[in-house]
Amino acid sequence: MSLRAESHAAASTLKKIAADMSNIIESLDTRDLHFEGEEVDAEVLNDPKGAVCIPFSAIYHTHGFKEPGTQTYLTGCPVRVRVLEVERFTSTKKVPSPNVYTIELTHGEFTWQVKRKFKHFQEFHRELLRYKAFVRIPIPTRSHTVRRQSIKRGEPRQMPSLPHTAESTVREEHFSSRRKQLEDYLTKILKMPMYRNYHGTMEFIGVSQLSFIHDLGPKGIEGLIMKRSGGHRIPGLNCCGQGRMCYRWSKRWLVVKDSFLLYMKPDSGAIAFVLLVDKEFNIKIGQKETETKYGLQIDNLSRSLILKCNSYRHAQWWRQGIDEFIRKHGKDFLTEHRFGSYAAVQENTLAKWYVNAKSYFEDVANAMEAAKEEIFITDWWLSPEIFMKRPVVEGNRWRLDCILKRKAQQGVRIFVMLYKEVELALGINSEYSKRTLMHLHPNIKVMRHPDHVSSSVYLWAHHEKLVIIDQSVAFVGGIDLAYGRWDDDEHRLTDVGSVKRMVAVKSVSTTNLTSAAESSERVPLQSQTLSPESHLFQRDADDTPDISKMKGVGKPKKFSRFSIYKHLHKHGMHHADSVSSIDSESNKGSIRSLKTGVGELLGETRFWHGKDYCNFVFKDWVQLDKPFADFIDRYTTPRMPWHDISSVVHGKAARDVARHFIQRWNFTKIMKPKYRSLSYPFLLPKSQQTANELKYQVPEAVHATVQVIRSAADWSAGIKYHEESIHNAYVSVIQNSKHYIYIENQFFISCAGDKVVWNKIGDAIAQRILKAHRENKRFRVYVVIPLLPGFEGDISTGGGNALQAIMHFNYRTMCRGENSILAQLKAEVGDKWINYISFCGLRTYAELEGKLVTELIYVHSKLLIADDNTVIIGSANINDRSMLGKRDSEMAIIVQDTETVPSVMDGEDYSAGKFSQSLRLRCFRVVLGGSDLNPEHQDPVCDKFFKEVWISTAARNATIFDKVFRCLPSDQVNNLTQLRDFINKPKLANDDPVKAAEELKKIRGFLVQFPFRFLEEEYLLPSVGTKESMVPMEVWT
């Protein structure tokens, strides 16, 4: 026999003996054992000013309840004990222990109560004696050695003794002394670390590793309980149906917090289920209700959880304990709120808006950088390699995957939920995004949902765009962290970026300041440090020239002798493709380390790298696993600018956004078997009571009243009833608006009436205008939508089937058919509808490689502003998919101003909301040109603005674009035959570029009138036989 085999045999024999001894000791009846000494002296338990908090991240590191060395208590903080009252229960049976003691315990900021009988004290005392004997025996197992080592040897201390008198003989007049005896007994036990840290003691006083975490809020009732499997509301989650025989009972530790319950497995400490408090939250007890003797049933929108207690009175305690605690601390979650939302209206909330992704991405990156515990992200599409700050002057530091990896290495937990697309229909490659992120670090967890086959959800998508930092700061809006989204207020069409190439190009007629490759001549030599937004023309200044000059029509020769390329040649960097690539090659980290004397090489930096330079109507994304390879030729095809809106909220509203994410994450975790492993933890919502302790705040936020609203349903969030609070909020705000409504949206599909479309937003707009007409009051509605839907298709041949289908429903809402808004208006007001509502799109132009080019600006916003005091920003489009709740999942916020500024409305003095008005003025400035402080934009209702600024700018711009470029869509094209003739006619941009440039100087901003008559004679729905015609109509609506 080899030496190794011998030692192995010896070790296994020792282990057997150790296990036998452990069992003997555990089952010893120690009533007569009474060792003296060897208890440990208490730690110095003075009340320090601030006990050391247990970090929130401890929820991800729970241990088995019997494992030694687990932190449960706050360091350096005593547990105070008071026995408050004695209830005497009379019974027909002779009960040896008729008195129930209510014990109140206080530990730091936490106070809780437990109810115990004297017999429980006796059992507890015996268990401690057994434990004491057990610890003194040197059993050679690792855990026992650790346990023995953790007990410091101090001065011997006698173990306190329990009163010996039998409970039944204690008279009422002696209750107070009995209470005092039990109080002293427990106080002494809790001063001795050896006993205080024993799992039996923790069970006796009802505490666990999750009891004293500040951000989880006050401590509720806790304890061991038997729970029954099943009860989930979502089909497919319960084993073989609802059969009564088909469940099992398990022992779990139940923890009650202010807005949720959870249970843990005592052996491993793993959190095994989280049940959120919601409007359906309810507790029943009794055999009849629960089909279980001494049963307790807890219901919410997602589950009916059945627990088993060991007596009817025990069940009553649990019910009362949970009910009183939730009603005291979580009452906001028990009711349905305004618009049918799950979230309460939160006053005094810090909020900020974003127009376009430049500032949004920067703030998101800075907030991620400040994260301490958790980052939650959910997107319809996420591209790991996008740059969050541009131009890129610090190598890859601000690339999304690099930020997340850096934070994960610092210990921040990152949870990402991606929409799992139907691969045949969409090319967003969420599988690549998941794989890329998961490979970065074990602290990054990514889920994809839904599984189309198992969940039978083929048609609907997760559409929210959320970034949540430490459950305290939540970004909510329309901007995915994905390719094509980054843009600023200039909406540039070109981004050639290569120094060599740019210098070689001779300008024909116009310099393109809209392009990222601003000509080198424009960089002022003396400027050493310009901000990233710096251009020769500062757009924010009051005396800003109009936007046509900003497009650089007419080129100043002032610095024409100076060439960045020559300058770089001197420094031996002429081989580099772009300044940002030079920067990534040098390790200096900043462009300014080039010491070119220019100070700002912004003009030559690429803003859109690789796949980020895109024009998705021209060509959809391909090969997303090669992020930095171009897929369209940036020297011949302009990019499609992206116009979008987002927001950020703090405090309680951010907690509400996080709660939605947590609900979806926990639902997906139990829904998909691959996520049931412990490596994908359950998430816990932080308490509203600590929501205003902001460790990080986004700059320039203002105080307002905010409510979180959403579209959610059984398939998306695991809830019994669907929620359509965004739809309800839209309709309510439109109906109650007094002066104007401003809408920017990616879609405009509404007007119920023909049983195809169901949402009521279009009808609400029409009815509100008719009400204003009847009352003879001014009322304006501004609608800005994309000129074409965002589907790949060559519009010069009529576009693809998908593109035409969306066009059909957009036109059906606006102006075609008896249910359209204009048809509803014309029936009552005739041609006067033109005084009330305006439909527009956005378009821009540039010079690319010496040629004039134009492209529509893709409006992706989901924004409504009313009366300069109410704003809705979110991910929900105006269509049935987003609004009905049962279809796509969405998230939005409704902001109502509380801080006001003096303004003008309809020619009269008006108190405008700070948040709403500043957002409207920024939107107007971007689409109309000019500055934020343009006095013409101040009053959005008066005739002067509506007719002479808005309508006339849109009409003039549209006419010029038609004249110069013969753009599509166009009112001159009513059918496909006219379309062919239209595109074959010569364009001024090609025939006479100098004259075309002169015409383009007259353009202001980006606003153009929406062409109502484009292809009006064609049937735009998919024709029979095409793959699009096989798809249900709901996909398009």
Angle (nearest 5°) at CA 327 between 323 and 331: 140
- Cα dist from 94 to 90, 120, 857, whole Å: 9, 17, 84
- Per residue in 612-653, pLDDT (tens digit) is 898 877 778 777 888 888 888 999 999 999 999 999 999 999
Q: What is the pLDDT of residue 701?
A: 97
Smallest Cα–Cα separation from 653: which of 337, 869, 893?
Answer: 893
Phi, psi of 241 (to 5 degrees): 75, -155
Chain-centroid distance, C-alpha 796:
39
Average pLDDT over residues 423-434: 82
DSSP secondary structure string, 99-165? EEEEEEEEETTEEEEEEEEHHHHHHHHHHHHHHHHHHHS----HHHHHHHHTS---S--PPP----S
Q: What is the pLDDT of residue 1018?
A: 87
- Per residue in 371-420, pLDDT (tens digit) is 999 999 999 999 999 999 999 888 899 999 999 999 999 999 999 999 98
Q: What is the pLDDT of residue 625?
A: 80
Angle, in degrees to the nearest 10, between helices 175-191 and 118-136: 30
Angle (nearest 5°) at CA 856 between 855 and 861: 145
Q: Tell me whether residue 244 is exposed, middle or buried, using C-beta atoms within 10 angstroms of its C-beta: 0 to 12, 13 to 18, 19 or more.
A: exposed
CB-based contacts of 402, cutoff 8 Å, min separation 6: 396
Query: Which range, 393-397, 552-556, 826-830, has the best average confidence (pLDDT)?
Result: 826-830
Q: Facing residues of 858 across strands?
A: 642
- Token pair recorded at residue 57: 């991240």
Q: What is the pLDDT of residue 538?
A: 34
Report the percentage of the chain scoring pLDDT > 90: 59
Gap between the Cα atoms of 750 and 728, Å rounded = 14
- Per residue in 316-371, pLDDT (tens digit) is 999 999 999 999 999 999 999 999 999 999 999 999 999 999 999 999 999 999 99
8 A C-beta contact, residue 217 and residue 690: yes
Q: Just list the catalytic residues.
A: 463, 465, 470, 860, 862, 867
- Per residue in 840-882, pLDDT (tens digit) is 999 999 999 999 999 999 999 999 999 999 999 999 999 999 9
CB-based contacts of 961, cutoff 8 Å, min separation 6: 843, 845, 854, 967, 1003, 1008
Average pLDDT over residues 707-731: 95
8 A C-beta contact, residue 923 and residue 489: no
8 A C-beta contact, residue 486 and residue 360: no
Smallest Cα–Cα separation from 289: which of 302, 301, 299?
Answer: 299
Q: Tell me whether residue 789 is exposed, middle or buried, using C-beta atoms within 10 angstroms of its C-beta: 0 to 12, 13 to 18, 19 or more.
A: buried
> Is residue 831 predicted with pLDDT exceeding 50?
yes
Q: What is the pLDDT of residue 559?
A: 35
* The pairing of beta strand 858-859 with beta strand 908-913: unpaired
| Band of pLDDT at residue 137, cut at 50, 70 and 90 | confident
3-class DSSP state of 769: helix
Q: What is the pLDDT of residue 51?
A: 55
3-class DSSP state of 86: strand
| Band of pLDDT at residue 945, cut at 50, 70 and 90 | very high
Q: Round the average pLDDT of the chain to a whole number and report it.
A: 82
> Is residue 708 predicted with pLDDT exceeding 60?
yes
Q: What is the pLDDT of residue 900?
A: 96
Reported residue count of the chain is 1037
Average pLDDT over residues 62-70: 87
Report the percentage of the chain scoring pLDDT > 70: 79
> Is residue 590 predicted with pLDDT exceeding 60?
no
- Per residue in 40-65, pLDDT (tens digit) is 444 434 444 455 789 999 999 999 99
| Band of pLDDT at residue 311, cut at 50, 70 and 90 | confident
> Is residue 775 predicted with pLDDT exceeding 70?
yes
Report the 10 Å Cβ neighbour count for 721: 16
Gap between the Cα atoms of 839 and 835, Å rounded = 12
Q: What is the pLDDT of residue 556?
A: 37
- Per residue in 886-917, pLDDT (tens digit) is 999 999 999 999 999 999 999 999 999 999 99
Chain-centroid distance, C-alpha 360:
14
Record the pTM.
0.85
> Is residue 578 predicted with pLDDT exceeding 60?
no
Phi, psi of 907 (to 5 degrees): 80, 0
DSSP secondary structure string, 163-177? --S-GGG--GGGHHH
Q: What is the pLDDT of residue 601?
A: 37
Q: Where are the alpha helices (DSSP H) in 775-885?
A: 801-814, 821-829, 880-883
- Per residue in 444-496, pLDDT (tens digit) is 999 998 876 665 677 899 999 999 999 999 999 999 999 999 999 999 999 87
> Is residue 150 predicted with pLDDT exceeding 90?
no
